[in-house]
Amino acid sequence: MKKQITFIIAIFLCSILLAAGMYLFKSPEKHAEKTSGYRISEENLLSPIDFSKPKNTGKTSGQTTDANKKTSGTSSANPLSSPETQIYSYLQGPKSWENKRTWSGKWGVTYYDGAKFGAFGCGLCCIANLYCSLTPYKCTPIDAYKFAKKHTGYSGGGAIDWGYMKTSLSMMGLSCTLEKKPATYKAFQKMIAANAGTITLISSNNSTCYWTSNPGHYVTIFLYNPKTDKVFLADSGVPDHNRKWISLKLIYKSLKTASTWHMLGVTGYSETDDTWKHKAAGGEWVRE
């Protein structure tokens, strides 16, 4: 009799253990979510799971995106990251947006005041690059476009002129000056070294050493390194040039001299003088 009772109890306990095992086997996602506090997708069940943080999705195409935080409009620099990771480098063209290239936006295929932004927006991309890279605030090229239209004589629907860029950036708290090409390369090096960022007007009519089919195009340069004599290039019109370290000599040779001004240098930023303080780079664009 005792053996029968022991056998029945053993079967009962085995049934309980089997049921518990089946529950965990069928619902690992729910169980892990309950213990970790983070939801785990089915594909992650096939690989080791890090419960310390949610999955990093990598490249994103979003409604509100900026360099370090989504929707915040502020950047928190990582001291361990390379300095170029803090530089914004928007692309302007429709092909870039169609291919969803990093830094491209829906503005590339959108018409503003009768013209497609991709055809004229290089100067507005430069303004946005400088404002986002050198201040704690964020904007897109379209935000810069609307700001310039509202606060300067810029009428929109075409390339923005030097004076309107300077006025816009000054109202955004950035100290800037308009310059012409120095007579010597040494003087040019010294000028660029003194700037936190520089808008330069390049033209293949002056040199085809780097740009081959751009009669007039604004690009932004940052982070001049005197040891290598290179700058970090933000080129909105030539995606393969964008975010590349290039020789400063290529810029010097390519400056468009058939223009009233050749450069706009930014030497500093004052939050007190920033009348804008635009907090978010919203809209549809792609950022890593």
Is the pLDDT at 37 greater than 90, yes or no?
A: no
Average model confidence (pLDDT) across the chain: 81
| pLDDT score of 12 | 60
| pLDDT score of 32 | 33
Residues 95 and 241: beta-carbon distance below 8 Å? no
Q: What is the mean pLDDT of residues 75-98?
A: 81
Most confident of 44-53, 61-70, 207-216: 207-216
Q: What is the mean pLDDT of residues 41-67?
A: 32
CA distance 101 to 89: 12
Residues 77 and 133: beta-carbon distance below 8 Å? no
| pLDDT score of 231 | 98
Is the pLDDT at 167 greater than 80, yes or no?
A: yes
Residue type at 57 in one-letter notation? T
| pLDDT score of 228 | 98
**Per residue in 179-233, pLDDT tens?**
999 999 999 999 999 999 999 999 999 999 999 999 999 999 999 999 999 999 9
Provide CATH 3.90.70.30 ranges for the chain.
Answer: 60-287
Residue 73: which of 7, 34, 131, 125 has the closest Cα?
Answer: 131
Q: What is the mean pLDDT of residues 19-42?
A: 37
Q: How far is CA 6 from CA 9, 10, 12, 18, in A?
A: 5, 6, 10, 18
Is the pLDDT at 35 greater than 90, yes or no?
A: no
Is the pLDDT at 63 greater than 70, yes or no?
A: no
| pLDDT score of 94 | 97
pLDDT band at 288 (very low <50, low <70, confident <90, very high): confident
CA distance 270 to 108: 31
| pLDDT score of 15 | 61
Q: What is the mean pLDDT of residues 2-27?
A: 54
Interior/surface letters 50-79, b for 16+ CB within 10 angstroms, e for the rest: eeeeeeeeeeeeeebbbbeeeeebebeeee
Q: What is the mean pLDDT of residues 100-106?
A: 97
**What architecture (CATH level 2) is domain 60-287?**
Alpha-Beta Complex (3.90)
